[in-house]
A = this chain, B = another copy of it.
Amino acid sequence: MILKLRYKIWLEKNGEKAFGDGPLDILHRVEKTGSLRQAAEEINMSYSQAWNLIKDLEKRLGFNLLKRKVGGERGGGSEITEEARELMTQFKLFREEADQSLNSLYKKIFKEKD
C-alpha cells in the first residue's frame, strides 16, 4: 500500500503556538546570518510575517528570542538570546528522538502485514 508517515510537532502555551519547526529554522538562520530579514529571505518568507511570528512567540513564551540592533554599521541586525538557544537545543533533540521513535513504530505496525 506504500503509505508515508507524516507528522508535525509543536509546543503551545495557553492553546497558542509557542514553538515549532518553522521558528527553529528561522532562528538557526538568524544565528547564521545575523539578520531576521535575511533569514526570512532565505526561506522565501516575507519579513513582516517572520517578524510577527517571532514577536508573537516572544509574547507567549515570556522571554525574548532575539537581541535586536536597530541602525548601526550594517543597518542593524539580530542575534539569538541564551534562552532561545536553550529552547532550540531541547526542541531539536526532541525532534530527533521523536523521529526515530515514530518511524520505528510505523514500521512495526504498518509494514509487517504488506
Give residues in A with beta carbon < 8 Å to B.
Answer: 1-13, 18-19, 61-62, 90, 93-94, 97-98, 101-102, 105-106, 109-110
Contacts and interface: CB of A to CB of B under 8 A. Distances in A.
23 contacts: A1-B62, A3-B12, A3-B13, A3-B18, A3-B19, A4-B13, A5-B9, A5-B12, A6-B9, A6-B12, A7-B8, A7-B9, A7-B10, A8-B8, A9-B102, A90-B109, A90-B110, A94-B106, A97-B109, A98-B105, A101-B102, A101-B105, A102-B102
A63 B105 CA distance: 24
A94 B90 contact: no
Contacts of A18: 3
A76 to B, nearest CB: 29
Given A6-B11, A19-B3, A98 B102 contact: yes
Contacts of A9: 5-7, 102
Contacts of A1: 61-62
A94 B105 contact: yes
A81 to B, nearest CB: 14
